[in-house]
């Protein structure tokens, strides 16, 4: 039992931090621009492929710097010539613009790198096991993932709390119009914010690419889990997103460990007809079986009970 709790906690924290790594850029963009960037996962994929291509030629560490910069440039171009124009048509148009972008980015990636997974491997400098607990080894790469996530969290938090840009951002959260009236170049701030947001996605791509599968459909397969993190955490709250990532990581990991179904709790159903078949489906489902669906349940519940999310500052 102790082993399960211990190992699940570590796995949960690691997974939670991976989620935060992927979602941090999304929450930055969402909180500062109010745009839910549906193409976030696509920029994450771009990061992974740039990371693959660059690390193949000049190594992983330069890739970790260069790939996000490249993606940030692409992101800023997208913001300057696309999103900014769409902005005046409202949030729905912005959402749909990023939705269209997902098709385009996926096809372009397919054209350049093909449809099969590419061989993006963990760099040798991180390819050793960091520690072993209960005979389970934890690779250094995962620890690096965790440290990067925490570092990003701390740096972003410092920027928001301690710098002038952060001040404007905080003001923009509660009084967006006033900030514009005070003469800040809202357009340029938005462009930078979008660039930084997608760059963070790219960082996640470079780091998660080798651990997961780098393939042209990876953006689509990631699914909407990142939106769950951002929305459950609360609009405009970096700490909220951090807490939500941890929560989702732990909930999902611990759920996997429990093979308990309603049948185990209340005994098997004795209904020998069609209705019995239907009910048995529900009766015999274990918690472990539905673990990856739990975040969505959490999303619905949180939004019903507390629409501003765990630590949000205003209603979404």
Partner 1 sequence: MKHLFATTALAVSLVAGHAAAEDTLKIGYVDPLSGGAASVGQIGLNHLKFIADEANAKGGINREKVEVIGYDNQVNAQTSLVQVQKAIDEGVRIIVQGNGSSVGVAIEDFVAKYNRRNPDKHIVYLNYGAIDPVLTNEKCSYWHVSFDANVNVKMAALTNFIKDQSDIKKIYLIDQDYSFGHAVADAAVKMLKEKRADIEVVGNEFHPLVKITDFAPYVAKIKASGADAVITGNWGQDFSLLLKAAGQAGLKVKWFTYYAGAAGGPTAIKQADLAGQVYQVNEGINNLGYPEADKTIKAYIDRYKDAPVVFPRIFNTAGLLFKAVEEAKSSDPADFIPKLEGMEYKTFSSGGDGFIRKEDHQLFQPLFISSFGPLKDGESFDEENTGWGWTKIGEVAAKDTVVPTTCEMKRPG
Partner 2 sequence: MTGTSFSLPPPTPGGATSNPVLRYGIWVLVAAGLLLLPQVFSSGLAISTMCLMGTMVIFALSYNMLLGQTGLLSFGHAVFLGLGGFLTAHAMNMGADGLFPLPLMFMPIVGGVTGLAFGILFGAVCTRRAGTAFAMITLGIAELVASSALILRHVFGGEEGISVDRTELPQPLGIVFGPQIEVYYLIAAWCFVSMLAMYAITRTPFGRMCNAVRDNPVRVSFIGYNTTTIRFIAFSLAGLFAGIAGGLTAINFELVNAAQMGAAESGTVILMAYIGGTGFFAGPIIGAVLVTYLQLMLSDITNVWQLYFGLMFIGIVMYAPNGIVGLLAAQRPLLERRCLHRMIPYYVLALVPGLGALAGLSMVIEMTTQLSVSGSEGMSMSLMHIPFEADSVVPWSIAVVLLLAGGYGFLRAAAVTRNAYDTATADRRAG
Residues that bind partner 1 in the complex, under the rule CB under 8 A: 3-4, 7-8, 11-12, 14-15, 18-19, 106, 110, 114-119, 121-122, 129, 132, 135-139, 141-142, 210-213, 215-218, 220-223, 225, 252-253, 256-257, 288-293
Residue 271 phi/psi, 5° resolution?
A: -120, 115
Nearer CB in complex with partner 2: 138/296: 296
Question: Considering only residues 5, 65, 73, 104, which one is a binding residue for partner 2 as defined by CB under 8 A?
Answer: 104
Q: Which of 127, 129, 137, 289 binds partner 2 (CB under 8 A)?
A: 289
Q: Which is nearer to partner 2, 163 or 289 (CB)?
A: 289
The entry of partner 1, partner 2, none that residue 316 binds, CB within 5 to 8 Å by partner kind = partner 2
CB 239 within 8 A of CB 310: no
Q: With contact defined as beta carbons under 8 Å apart, do 287 and 255 qualify?
A: yes
For residue 233, the partner it binds in partner 2, partner 1, none, with Cβ less than 5 to 8 A by kind, is: none
Nearest residue to 204 via CA among 183, 232, 179, 225: 225
Shortest spacing between CB 11 and partner 1, in angstroms? 4
- What distance in Å separates the CA atoms of residue 196 and residue 176, rounded to the nearest whole number? 19
Cα–Cα dist 144/82, whole Å? 35
Which of partner 2, partner 1, none is residue 4 near (CB under 5 to 8 Å by kind)?
partner 1
207 in Cβ contact with 215 (< 8 Å): no
Among 27, 31, 37, 102, binds partner 2 (CB under 8 A): 102
Give me the 244-283 binding string for partner 2, x by CB under 8 A, dash otherwise: ------------------------------x--xx-xxx-
d(CA 6, CA 134) in angstroms, rounded, equals 9
Instruction: Give least dist CB 27 to partner 2, A.
Output: 13
Q: Specify the residue for token string 């330069």.
A: 62
Q: Interface with partner 2 by CB under 8 A: which range of 7-15, 108-116, 135-143, 246-254?
A: 108-116
Question: Which does residue 213 bind out of partner 2, partner 1, none, counting CB within 5 to 8 angstroms by kind?
Answer: partner 1
**Size of residue set near partner 2 by CB under 8 A:** 51
Task: By CB under 8 A, name the one of 9, 13, 56, 100 that touches partner 2.
Answer: 100
- Identity of the residue, 112 or 147, whose beta carbon is nearer to partner 2 in the bound complex: 112
> Is residue 300 a contact residue for partner 2 (CB under 8 A)?
yes
State which residue, 130 or 168, has the beta carbon closest to partner 1.
Answer: 130
Residue 148 or 216: the one with the smaller Cβ distance to partner 2 is: 216
User: What is the contact surface with partner 2 in residues (CB under 8 A)?
Assistant: 36, 82, 85-86, 89, 91-93, 95-97, 99-104, 106-108, 110-112, 114-115, 223-224, 227-228, 231, 235, 274, 277-278, 280-282, 285, 289-290, 292-293, 296-297, 299-300, 303-304, 307, 315-316
């Amino acid at each position: 039992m102790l082993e399960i709790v211990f190992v699940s906690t570590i796995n949960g924290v690691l997974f939670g931090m991976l989620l935060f790594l992927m979602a941090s850029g999304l929450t930055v963009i969402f909180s500062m621009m109010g745009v839910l960037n549906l193409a976030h996962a696509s920029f994450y994929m771009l990061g992974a492929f740039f990371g693959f291509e660059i690390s193949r030629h000049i190594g992983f560490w330069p890739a970790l710097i260069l790939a996000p910069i490249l993606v940030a440039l692409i992101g800023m171009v997208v913001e300057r010539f696309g999103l900014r124009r769409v902005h005046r048509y409202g949030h729905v148009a912005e959402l749909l613009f990023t939705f269209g972008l997902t098709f385009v980015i996926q096809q372009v990636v397919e054209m350049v790198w093909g449809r099969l997974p590419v061989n993006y491997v963990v760099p040798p400098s991180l390819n050793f096991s960091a520690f072993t607990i209960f005979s389970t080894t934890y690779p250094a790469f995962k620890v690096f993932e965790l440290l990067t996530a925490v570092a990003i969290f701390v740096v972003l938090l410092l920027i928001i709390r301690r710098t002038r840009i952060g001040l404007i951002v905080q003001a923009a959260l509660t009084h967006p119009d006033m900030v514009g009236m005070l003469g800040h170049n809202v357009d340029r701030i938005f462009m930078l914010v979008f660039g930084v947001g997608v760059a963070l996605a790219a960082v996640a791509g470079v780091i998660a690419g080798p651990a997961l599968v780098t393939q042209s459909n990876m953006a689509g397969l990631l699914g909407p889990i990142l939106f769950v993190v951002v929305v459950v955490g609360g609009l405009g709250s970096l700490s909220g997103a951090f807490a939500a990532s941890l929560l989702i990581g732990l909930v999902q990991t611990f759920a996997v460990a429990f093979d308990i179904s309603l049948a185990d709790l209340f005994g098997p159903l004795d209904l020998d007809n069609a209705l019995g078949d239907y009910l048995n489906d529900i009766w015999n489902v274990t918690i472990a079986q539905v673990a990856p669906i739990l975040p969505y349940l959490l999303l619905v519940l949180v939004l019903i009970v507390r629409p501003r999310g765990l630590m949000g500052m205003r209603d979404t």
